[in-house]
Amino acid sequence: MKVNLEEVLFAMQSAGSDEAMYYVIPLEKIMSSAEVSGKYDESDLIRLPDRRDIDDYGNMERFIERVKDEEIQEWLSNAIRGRGAFRMFRAALDRFHMLNDWYDYRDRCHRVTAMEWCEDNGIEYEGNRYELINDDEEVEDDDYGFDQDYIEPEKPVIPKTVSMPKQPQYRIVSIGTKNAAQLVFLASGYRDEILVKKGFEKADDPEGAQAEIEEMLKKGYTVTAVSESGRYLGYSVTHEDGESLIMNELFVKKDMRRKGLGEMLISSAASDAEEKGKELKFEVDPACDEMLSLLEKCGYITLQKLMFSAVQPEENAPEITVGSHRFRKG
C-alpha cells in the first residue's frame, strides 16, 4: 500500500463533521464516505484522521508553550480562553507579526498527524516529512527556516520566537493488528537468514511468519519497527518475564545495516524497560554473530545464561568457546 502525503493532508483538511474520508485498500486511493458507501467491505477501508484528530486547539496550546517571549505567550494564552478562540488567537498573532509562524507550525503539525496515520496503518508514503522537536532541544537557524513555497510577510518576523518542526530520517513505530501485515516479509527474511546461517535452505514462508507475528501480538508481546516514509526497515520483539524485559528478535534489512537502526530499536526497548522498572535482556541465537557484535557495541557485555541442546549439529557448524570448553553452534 502506498499513498502521496499531500493527498492525505488535503483529504484530512477537507473532511467535514458529516463526511469522512477513507483510504480504499484495493484501489490504493482516497475517497469520501459518499463514494464508498455500500461498495466496499469494512475491511477494505481505513478511515483518515478528521478535524478532531488534527486538534488545532491543542496545536494552538502547544504553539504557545514554545513561544520564548513571556509577554507574547501571556497574550496568546489569554486569547484562546472563551468564545471565538481561533479568531482572537489570529488577532493576537497579527499584533505580534506571528501569523505566518503559526500557519507554518500548524501545517507541519498536520503533516506529522498524516505521517503517523500512514505508519500506524502500514501505508508507505511519499512527500516531505516533519516531526516536532523537543522543547529542550537547541533550535538552529536552519531548523527555523521555512519551505520553499513560503511567502515572506510584509512585517518583520521576530527571530526564534517559537521552536519549529524539523525533518526526521527514521521513526519508531508500534506494530499492532492494523499494520502487522507490512512487517511480514521482514519477519520472513529474519527467519530465512537464521536458517542459512545454520546451513539450511531458506523456508521462504511469509504466511508462517505472519502467523507467528499474530500469535506474538495475541500473547501481548511488544513489536516495534523502524520506519522511513512508512516503509519498515527493521523490527524488534520484546516480552516481559518477571523482573526482565526480554528482546528475543531484532532484525534490520541487509542494505540498511550500519546506519544506527539496530541501536534505535535497542534504545527504544531500553526506554520501555526503564519505564516499567525492568532490566532489558536479550535472547540471541548463537548463529547471529552480527547481533552479538551490536550488543557489545551498545554496552551489553555480560553473558548471563547459555542454552544447550543435544541435537547433533551440522558437520561444518561453527564453534564457540566458553572458558576452556568448546561447543558447536546449533
Q: Kindly state whether residue 313 falls inside one of the protein's structural domains.
A: no
Cα(90)–Cα(200) distance, rounded to whole angstroms? 66
Task: Please name the amino acid found at residue 94.
Answer: D
Q: Kindly state whether residue 208 falls inside one of the protein's structural domains.
A: yes
Task: Please name the amino acid found at residue 38.
Answer: G
* Nearest by Cα to 101 from 50, 158, 175: 158
Q: Kindly state whether residue 255 falls inside one of the protein's structural domains.
A: yes
Residues of the domain holding 155: 55-168
- Tell me, yes or no, whether 164 and 59 share the same domain: yes
At residue 141, the pLDDT reads 34
Of the two residues 201 and 137, the one the predictor is more confident about is 201
Q: Which pLDDT band holds residue 247 (cuts at 50, 70, 90)?
A: very high
Please give the tally of structural domains in the chain. 3
Residue 289, judged by CB atoms within 10 A of its CB (0-12, 13-18, 19+), counts as middle
- Tell me, yes or no, whether 297 and 235 share the same domain: yes
Residues 7-48 have pLDDT tens digits of 998 888 887 767 889 999 889 899 999 898 889 888 889 999
- Tell me, yes or no, whether 91 and 176 share the same domain: no
Cα(304)–Cα(243) distance, rounded to whole angstroms? 15
- Tell me, yes or no, whether 14 and 100 share the same domain: no
- Tell me, yes or no, whether 234 and 262 share the same domain: yes
- Tell me, yes or no, whether 102 and 32 share the same domain: no
Query: What is the percent of the chain where pLDDT is above 90?
Result: 32
- Tell me, yes or no, whether 206 and 296 share the same domain: yes
At residue 17, the pLDDT reads 67
- Tell me, yes or no, whether 175 and 163 share the same domain: no
Q: Kindly state whether residue 191 falls inside one of the protein's structural domains.
A: yes
- Tell me, yes or no, whether 15 and 62 share the same domain: no
Residues 59-117 have pLDDT tens digits of 999 999 989 889 999 999 999 998 889 999 999 999 899 998 999 899 888 988 898 89
* Nearest by Cα to 22 from 36, 38, 1, 9: 36
Spatial neighbors of 138 by CB under 8 A, at least 6 apart, are none
Is the separation of the CB atoms in 183 and 225 below 8 Å? yes
Q: Max Cα separation, the chain?
A: 79
Cα(105)–Cα(295) distance, rounded to whole angstroms? 39
* Nearest by Cα to 186 from 220, 219, 218, 228: 228
Total-model pTM? 0.63
Which residue in this structure is represented by grid cell 477494505?
A: 44
- Tell me, yes or no, whether 74 and 142 share the same domain: yes
